[in-house]
Amino acid sequence: MIEKRELICVTCPRGCRITVEMEDEKIIRILGNTCERGKKYAESEIKDPRRMFASTVRIRNGVHPVLPVTVTQPFPKDRLKDLSAELRKTEVTAPVRMGDVIVKNVLGTGIDVIASRDMESVRS
């Protein structure tokens, strides 16, 4: 039996509606994409959905109590809760520079968590 999955491509602002037809968990047809990037998006969304992620971690001695952080690559969607839990346990010490690695190879994914901004120390 053919199963249909409806997606909206988020690769560009056009937001094409894409239909993925699947049989036995395999993609057999992709419809509605205007370009090749949409096809790649749909394949990735079905096989290995990922999201960019931004959050904060606690920072000691900083001019603010938390430091905004992000990931260096889109993160596996089914592990975002684990990532949030990991970041709740993370604390750094100011000063920090934008792009500094806060957690290397987080959860063994090969993806780093980095600082999204500079954070000065209260005593610098």
Least separation in angstroms between CB 35 and ligand SF4: 4
- Within 77-116, which residues bind ligand SF4 (CB under 6 A)? none
Rounded to 5 degrees, what angle do the CA atoms 53, 51, 67 make?
5
Least separation in angstroms between CB 12 and ligand SF4: 3
Q: What is the 3-state secondary structure (H, E, C) of the chain?
A: CCEEEEEECCCCCCCCEEEEEEECCEEEEEECCCCHHHHHHHHHHHHCCEECCEEEEEEECECCCEEEEEECCCEEHHHHHHHHHHHHCCEEECCECCCCEEECCHHHCCCCEEECCCECECCC
Q: Measured from the CB atom, is 33 or 55 closer to ligand SF4?
A: 33
Q: Measured from the CB atom, is 30 or 111 closer to ligand SF4?
A: 30
Choices 13-21, 79-87, 92-100, 112-120 (CB under 6 A): range interacting with ligand SF4: 13-21
Q: Measured from the CB atom, is 52 or 63 closer to ligand SF4?
A: 52
Nearest to 9 by CA among 31, 26, 33, 27: 33
- Within 22-81, which residues bind ligand SF4 (CB under 6 A)? 33-35, 37-38, 41
Q: Which residue's CB atom is positioned nearest to ligand SF4?
A: 38
Would you tell me which residues interact with ligand SF4 (CB under 6 A)? 9, 11-12, 14-16, 33-35, 37-38, 41
